Chains A and B, each alone.
Chain A
Amino acid sequence: MEANLAHASGHDDDGAVHSHISSAQFYWGIFGALVFLTFVTVLVSYYDFGSANIVIAMVVATAKAGLVATFFMHLRHDKLFNTLAFLAAFLFLAIFILLTYDDIGRRGEVDNDYGGTIKAQTGQPAPGGEPATTATSDETAGEPPVEGAPEKKR
């Protein structure tokens, strides 16, 4: 790693670009690994592991994305700051998704003063909210709403 850092840091005296050059065979090897992982993820999709399916699919996808970013995109031998810029995007994406998820999941529960009327996840009337309209329940639940009966989605 130290040797590679020296390569990427651009502190060479002549000021010329000295980027790390991997061999063509190495890139073909990475491609082989990516194809292998693609077959794995397609194969897994034919079996039902319940909620583990999506976890396996995302782990494999992240492994593939990691291979592409690390080697095809040269992050392995690049400046560390570029990796940080790249990973920062995923950090902010995670914040974005988690906060939105929290908002959608709890909206009806907490902001009944601001017009929240049903729990988004169950379609039930939110505590303190006005009764849900039947049109909304029809659209989201696919069966006629029974007054007060909880509707399970899963």
Chain B
Amino acid sequence: MANVSEPVNPGKGHAEHGGDAHAHPSFLAHHFDTPAQQFNAAKLGMWVFIATEILMFGGLFCAYAIWRAVDPAIFDQAHHFLNKKMGASNTIVLLFSSLTAALAVRSAQVGKRKLTSIYLVITILCACAFLVIKYFEYSHKIHLGLLPGHCFGHPGFSGAIQNGEEVGTCLRVHADQAAGTPEWVRAIDEDGHVQLLPPRSNMYFGLYFMMTGLHGLHVLIGMSILGWVLVRNMKGQFSKEYFTAVDLGALYWHLVDLVWIYLFPLLYLVGKPE
């Protein structure tokens, strides 16, 4: 805005034109007056993007809130199939990765390039650890047959197990139609207890797989972004004066952490202990 009266020099903006009132550093785009203006614009853009991400997850949180209000019984029962210790470990892993992401930004702010790389590598390794733990949780649940629609689907649907049929440790308990006995899915939970789940419990497991799945996708994307920031950092493209990508990449990673901070209690720590 302030430069309206200045003559436009096409193709000269990135060159070293020392005679200018303020020389354009190579990282400063044409359409910004100052590095601070560029930095603040990038940050605002990132925060608006974070807002849209929250609203995207919001659809699932809304489904969770409604369904838990309508049918709390299945949450009380089905959450015993989640391993609290694994969930808590993953929470600590993600919190620690958030710490290292924040420390990576701090190192970039003070111009310690090597330290920034180290912290970024630790953050990415924590993301890997998170996904490995998640893999063990998922594969165990799939082994149990807790994927939506498999044990829980209507017996008329293709692929759904029939009454009396067994999949993994899941057993469809025969329903006595004449006596009006409801159908149940019998499965063994994390504490080794036999649980009789109503078929509608697939709402809980559906929410579990969708919410943690979308979050896991964000972990993968976050890892890619941090990897890209790491490569750029090792190429020496960041400095005390310019570290926008480090900052914004870390913001994305903190968002992944924020979502998990809510997912963990909502899915793993449903009240009603046994």
Contact = CB atoms under 8 A, between A and B. Distances in A.
Interface string A54-70: 10011011001100110
A129 to B, nearest CB: 18
Contacts, number: 180
Interface in B220-274: 241-242, 247, 250-251, 254, 257-258, 261-262, 264-266, 268-273
A28 interface: yes
Contacts of A6: none
A81 B44 contact: yes
Nearest to B198: A142
A16 B240 CA distance: 10
A148 interface: no
B271 A30 contact: no
A142 to B, nearest CB: 5
B162 interface: no
B65 A97 contact: yes
Contact of B95 (A18, A34, A58, A88): A34
A18 B47 contact: no
Interface in B189-203: 198-200
Contact of B269 (A31, A41, A48, A50): A41
What band does the interface of chain A fall in when counting residues whose beta carbon is under 8 Å from B?
35 or more
Report, as a range, how many residues of chain B touch the other chain: 35 or more
Contact of A17 (B39, B51, B73, B261): B39
Nearest to A121: B70
B101 interface: yes
A82 B70 contact: no
| Chief secondary structure at chain A's binding surface | helix
Given A38-B92, A42-B88, A154 B101 contact: no
B88 A15 contact: no
A85 to B, nearest CB: 4
A24 B106 CA distance: 8
Contact of A41 (B51, B73, B265): B265
A147 interface: no
B169 interface: no
B99 interface: yes
A31 B102 CA distance: 10
Contact of B272 (A10, A21, A53, A61): A53
A126 B91 CA distance: 44
Given A16-B34, A27-B106, A85-B48, A72 B43 contact: no
B62 A68 contact: no
A64 B51 contact: no
B239 to A, nearest CB: 10
Contact of B61 (A34, A86, A93, A143): A93
Given A14-B34, A15-B36, A18-B36, 17 more contacts: A34-B98, A44-B269, A48-B272, A53-B270, A57-B269, A61-B262, A68-B258, A85-B47, A85-B50, A86-B54, A89-B54, A89-B58, A92-B58, A97-B66, A121-B69, A139-B199, A142-B200
Interface of B: 22, 33-37, 39-40, 43-44, 47-48, 50-52, 54-55, 58, 61-62, 65-66, 69-73, 84, 88, 91-92, 95-96, 98-99, 101-103, 105-106, 109-110, 180, 182, 198-200, 241-242, 247, 250-251, 254, 257-258, 261-262, 264-266, 268-273
**Top 8 nearest A-B pairs by Cβ distance?**
A15-B34, A53-B271, A89-B51, A144-B180, A45-B269, A57-B265, A10-B36, A89-B54
17 contacts: A16-B36, A16-B241, A19-B109, A30-B99, A31-B99, A38-B91, A57-B265, A68-B261, A72-B102, A72-B254, A88-B51, A93-B58, A96-B55, A105-B69, A139-B200, A143-B180, A153-B71
